[in-house]
Amino acid sequence: MEKNIILGIDGGCFEFIQPLIEKGYLPNFEKILRQGFFAPLQVTIPPVTIPSWPCLFSGLTPEQLGYYFFTHPTKGLFNSSVWRDKSIFTILKVKQFILNVPGTFPAWKINGEMISGMLSPTINCYPPELKFFLNKDWIIDGKTIQNSFKAFEMKSTLFLKKFNENFNLMTYVIRLPDSLSHHSHVPRNILENYLDLGYKRIDNFIGKILSKKITNLFILSDHGLKFYDQEFSMRRWLEKKGLLYINKSQIYKIYNIIGKLYYGLFRNKIKINYETFFKIKNIIKNMIDDSSSLENKIKGSGVMSFLGNTGGIFLNESDKNKTNLIIEKMRKEKRIKALELKNEEGFPDIIVILNEKYLFNHKPSYFVIRGRNTINHSQKGIFLAWGKNIKKGCLPLINYEDLAPTLLKLFAEPIPAYLKGKPLDIIKV
């Protein structure tokens, strides 16, 4: 029986993988690079877990999906009803096991088994009784570094056990690198060590998969990760240029002042445990949620960060007549790499992509803040393929829209006309 494997690595990127390969720490990644096909992956804009994973596994664009972020001002929080009927998981002739894919809550009826991942508020499976076979301490998405590693080991163990069952396609999204990156309050050198350890454990897991009888293996990511040493405040830039003025509550200003005082004056004098500081910061942040919510950005003009070097500008009706002027000024700004105009309900009017060394900041700070070394999302993910039906080779870049059509071609499934992508020329016929 043919057994095809799809491994998703949330936040996977060659910037972290390649140095470890060169040091000899990732022999299984190296094997796939030498014997299979690989390319950097241009992910969705914005490069965020949602919409990226649903787009990768359906071939839809964020516009076709109707979501550019986890929430939509009129549709609410993303859930599986948005995309399940168009996902590759609905191929009936293929028996599947699907584990930990973000955006699959609630789990739905497929030919096989599904255990939901990120955005699932509780253990959620198809068939429902499957949850009784899971560990009692099952972790949906680890909130601490320790639990992030524990969740990976727990789910990887289950995935390997499922090899003994008759599944034709097995899909598992590993959240470890992205989960670790969310602990950006940890000093950079320590966080880099955790990420290196995470990739070594993922490589060991891949080795266990390669030791089994599999037909093809695909490895892909929803976005990359990188350390940014400079932040660019789009809100401050718009205000300085006299283009937009965005009101914020007094508590937001207090939050910003506290942050500046700590980082600028007291960080070396007052020693606060990083976990404690992070909790205090989140308490203050939660106090301003009402004034900085997505809904309020839609009602008034506002700026929103999509993580990494990408963000959005929302224009209320009275400011929309400034669109051409804003675009004109932005195209002259050397720190801005590209702009995309949107005319979709609930989407930003303008999506801004900064040059890759700048982290997009929506806070009312200086134009540029240097020396932060903040880890965040990047627009270059990974794609690797290896196996009986895969041609050997590489490309300088491939697009996320082409992955679902490629998988449909592998299973000899018709490719819907609404998909914009085309199959990659990597499948042996």
Q: Residue 270 has what pLDDT? A: 54
Alpha helices by DSSP H, 92-221: 145-161, 176-181, 188-210
- Check if CATH label 3.40.720.10 holds for domain 4-223+379-410: yes
* Polymer length of the chain: 429
The tokens describing 289, both together, are 């949620």
Q: Residue 250 has what pLDDT? A: 43
The tokens describing 355, both together, are 């040059």
Which residues, 6 or more positions from 230, have their beta carbon under 8 angstroms from its beta carbon?
A: 357, 358, 359, 368, 369, 370, 372
Q: What is the CATH number of domain 227-248+288-376?
A: 3.30.1360
Q: Residue 209 has what pLDDT? A: 98
Q: Supply φ then ψ for residue 143, to 5 degrees.
A: -90, -15
> 3-state DSSP call for residue 90?
helix
**What DSSP string describes 12-31?**
--HHHHHHHHHTT--HHHHH
DSSP symbol at 262? I
The tokens describing 223, both together, are 């976005």
Domains 4-223+379-410 and 227-248+288-376 share a fold: no
**What DSSP string describes 64-76?**
HHT-SSSEETTTE
Listed as ranges, residues in the chain with pLDDT below 70 are 247-300, 365-367, 369-372
Q: Residue 374 has what pLDDT? A: 86
- What is the spatial distance between Cα 36 and Cα 50, in angstroms, rounded to a whole number? 28
pLDDT in tens, 331-382: 999 999 999 998 888 899 999 999 988 999 887 766 676 666 789 999 999 9
**What DSSP string describes 241-259?**
TTS------HHHHHHHHHH
Q: Residue 251 has what pLDDT? A: 43
pLDDT in tens, 190-245: 999 999 999 999 999 999 999 999 999 999 999 999 999 899 999 989 988 999 88
Neighbour count for residue 179 (Cβ, 10 Å): 23
Q: Residue 72 has what pLDDT? A: 87
Task: Locate the domains of the chain by residue range.
Answer: 4-223+379-410, 227-248+288-376
